[in-house]
Structure 1
């Protein structure tokens, strides 16, 4: 029986709700021609109307409550010179753990049917990586049939809702202005502890005598885009934080995590129809979980009377305010828009004999309990990859890369949980004034650094990686090259 806890919305009231707002901006083409870019936006609910399995852990969890709605928010851009279309993009942020390839294909197909003049390859989706959103793929978990929305059914509902957001955003385009800014917030910490013997562990204990430090870099910058109408009313914002939204990842209820609090706080200040896109930066080795100073942090949070989600949202909104204070003074009405889509080929991570043998051993042990299905599937994928290697040459991993220039800023996507060091590389080497990195614009898998792969542990072992450090460097280099091609030297 479905229960709705006090102050939480029920499944049925959320499933089909659609709210739409629109934004626009006038810009110039990359070649400095006067061009008008129409921009529109829409947000829709992607919350199921009944109990559902939720993704992100190795065990099956059934959500029978909605703690906060999960949504999809679309931002549509089209640059035109008179009647001539110069470029297009629809960017859709989704409260999901990842973007399954089949869902993306369904969305593009449905959008193309309704908007035949739009280049559907320029429709891109990204996930916020909440671990409390529905499962989309059949077979990953052992899921009861009775009274539970099945993954294929949810995926169909999801594609329909997301396509609806894209179409409504496209149809809502009108002129306006754009700005960009930078703030800072301590939201994420590197989550990999390293020890005296050289090994690493995600969320490893830091109070041990053998603890030697935190493995990798951290990025606490908050990149922000703003859109106003010609009268100066703020209509939309995109917020890029190098942190997955997984503070409440272990719960068994639908929850958009800290992004719900961020959206609600900003809308309380700037209007209930404010469009908020959530973009997760390169954060494969970052998360909001505390790695040290935990008791002191929790004491201060309690004294301030904040939940952990509210505290994270307060920090993000503080950084947003910092960015807004500057950006509102430079509202642009004449900026270039260029959207490039490329397929880059990345070398896959090789499965060793020892890794394949270990995976087989774990499958044999775990298969005794059907509740371990997700873990069994995880290890079986390693064995399958090993068998393909033995059969002959393995094709490289083909990744769809989007790079967008909007005025002085660049936006670049990847499909991975990309370790933060790669994002820092891209930002530091980019010719853009400011560079936004959007990870999980696809199905995911971690992409670790060389140091992380040496240390091992979850997120840097072969089960976690389709592509290893060699491919990560190729991704960084090719992303930088494509970005910089939009800012010719001299």
Structure 2
């Protein structure tokens, strides 16, 4: 007896082949870019201490891409993908956006609206709490900024959906040395994020670096470039310590692309699997600084130069092969990932650290960071911890695969997903939908240090491998066996 799932898979295969090669489907494309720069001083997210931004060094923005696949008047599938100049999509933000968008985007399934963050550390907070209880008068709170932000996100989603028009898509890959692994390893088996490399016991850099630059291009039917989505496997953290509003390297990237390809070009910023990466070198600082000085570039401008050069390489080829009838398929599912369990040593260390900071009002971030581990251990003892529910979006667009996750995902997991993907080209978008914290590899956990210790990580290597397997499974369902 043939199961219903096999029948659905066979029908999907036949439908896909007919639509892809017969061009029965039509891709509709819309886009919008909206400013989200605050007009008042605001606390900045991304450090263990409170910073107040007094001015915007650059604008920060959100970019929305609306996609809809149709066959005649029949809608086949849809998506609205929105990149945000934020450190993370904090829990509750996506839900607020979907609630506010109710009734404002006719014909759109709001479960297929996806937010992602660029991980700039010079963007406003979107949470309040103990860390920010001592803000001076006139400083915008997290609650105020979040209300402003979510209104603007809905505005961008509505605009992008309203502007849908038939178009073409292309994809290409360039190379750009942006991501550099930021964890140094030592002779005793330990590792340290941003650890010194000019020491006798330094033994190497812990993990892989992905220098692929994956790019999507969207044109109207008259071949005008409307939108580009740029997938960089590295967070935007060049100017992370400043006390100003700043979009980091995405600001010069956008400006340079618009100077070359039109001021109305919408640039979607996607951060790939890069939880253990940084856009700065761990060694050879002097050589890199000399090259920048001779070129007359700042570090931001140098990173932008590399990205734009890789983008142009991809564009040169992609425009030779635009696809008019690329079919979109977008699947949403919930993954239940196991929590990383707290060991007795981790509990003891976190308890001691929490006690150290408990009564210091200026160190509430560190207190809460450590206390969260103690609280997690209590739920484990009671058997009430359950699992971490993660919203996975898996998309097929022509011969391109796209998948999201909410983590600062270590690059090795991304490499597994890409290597096992059936697509011609695979895009991974981390820090999407919600905020899941760091997801380290087994060797990172063994080495220790920030980003791999229990305080930094809600989901550990066991959950990371489940994420890999389920993401690859989702890709395979979008590419049914012929």
Give the TM-score of the pair, scaled to structure 2.
0.94
The counterpart of 1:101, out of the listed 83, 91, 97, is 91
2:32 is aligned with 1:32: no
Q: Distance in 2 between matches of 1:283 and 1:378?
A: 22
2:467 is aligned with 1:475: yes
Query: Is 1:99–1:444's contact at 8 Å kept on the other side of the alignment?
Result: no
Computed over aligned residues only, the root mean square deviation of the Cα atoms, in angstroms, reads 1.2
The counterpart of 1:329, out of the listed 317, 320, 326, is 320
2:169 is aligned with 1:178: yes
Instruction: Give how far 1:336 is off.
Output: 1.6
Tell me, which stretches of 5 or more residues in structure 2 are unaligned? 1-13
Deviations 1:245-279 (A, max 9, x none): 01100111000000001000000001111000000
Tell me, which stretches of 5 or more residues in structure 1 are unaligned? 1-27
Q: Distance in 1 between matches of 2:301 and 2:142?
A: 31
2:454 is aligned with 1:462: yes
Q: Which moved more, 1:416-425 or 1:113-122?
A: 113-122
2:107 is aligned with 1:117: yes
Q: Distance in 2 between matches of 1:32 and 1:461?
A: 50
User: 1:487 maps to what in 2?
Assistant: 479
Where do residues 354-393 of structure 1 align in structure 2 (5 Å cutoff)?
354-393=345-384
Q: Which moved more, 1:76-85 or 1:380-389?
A: 76-85
Deviations 1:29-74 (A, max 9, x none): 7353312221100010111110000000000000001111110000
Q: Which moved more, 1:366-375 or 1:256-265?
A: 366-375
Q: Distance in 1 between matches of 2:38 and 2:365?
A: 22
Where do residues 36-435 of structure 1 align in structure 2 (5 Å cutoff)?
36-139=26-129, 141-142=131-132, 143-435=134-426
Deviations 1:215-263 (A, max 9, x none): 0011000000001111111111000000100110011100000000100
Q: Distance in 2 between matches of 1:157 and 1:146?
A: 19
The alpha-carbon distance between structure 1 residues 363 and 404, as it changes in their structure 2 partners (threshold 3 A), is: same
Q: Distance in 2 between matches of 1:389 and 1:456?
A: 22
Q: Which moved more, 1:351-360 or 1:468-477?
A: 351-360
Q: Distance in 2 between matches of 1:367 and 1:101?
A: 25
Q: Distance in 2 between matches of 1:252 and 1:392?
A: 43
The alpha-carbon distance between structure 1 residues 31 and 141, as it changes in their structure 2 partners (threshold 3 A), is: farther
Give the TM-score of the pair, scaled to structure 1.
0.93
Query: Is 1:349–1:467's contact at 8 Å kept on the other side of the alignment?
Result: yes
Instruction: Give how far 1:86 is off.
Output: 1.0
Q: Distance in 1 between matches of 2:461 and 2:18?
A: 38
Q: Distance in 2 between matches of 1:88 and 1:29?
A: 17
